[in-house]
Amino acid sequence: ENVLTQSPGTLSLSPGERATLSCRASQSVSSSYLAWYQQKPGQAPRLLIYGASSRATGIPDRFSGSGSGTDFTLTISRLESEDSAVYYCQQYGSTYTFGPGTKVEI
């Protein structure tokens, strides 16, 4: 199983700042199969990024994804208060796995 590790566990920033979230895989991941999700309390996850760097429909351009192989990054360029949430990376290889999440506090 491809284990995903996310860092940091919690990120506390101010509005307007830049957030950089890391996702590291224990085995190489095809970029096509790496996605990022946002989850707010009491809500289902929402797709932000697919294919490592493509924004999902309706996602603001302040969200961007990058990376390849075993190291991937989600960047939120100008934080807004509504971005407070937990962010998960997810991969598909032989099975589907999710990272433990990074909590972003604003």
Partner 1 sequence: EVQLVESGGGLVQPGGSLRLSCAASGFTFSRYWMHWVRQTPTKGLVWVSRINSDGSTTNYADSVKGRFSISRDNAKNTLYLQMNSLSAEDTAVYYCARLSVTTGGVAFDVWGQGTMVTVSS
Chain residues in the site for partner 1 (CB under 8 A) = 31-35, 37, 43-47, 50-52, 54, 56-57, 88, 90, 92, 95-101
Min CB(92)–partner 1 separation in Å: 6
Going through the chain in order, the beta strands assigned E by DSSP cover 4-7, 10-12, 19-29, 34-39, 46-50, 54-55, 63-76, 85-92, 96-98, 102-105
Q: Which is nearer to partner 1, 14 or 42 (CB)?
A: 42
Q: Which is nearer to partner 1, 66 or 96 (CB)?
A: 96
Q: Which is nearer to partner 1, 32 or 66 (CB)?
A: 32
What size, in residues, is the chain? 106
Min CB(105)–partner 1 separation in Å: 18
Q: What is the DSSP letter of 4?
A: E
Nearest to 4 by CA among 105, 104, 87: 87
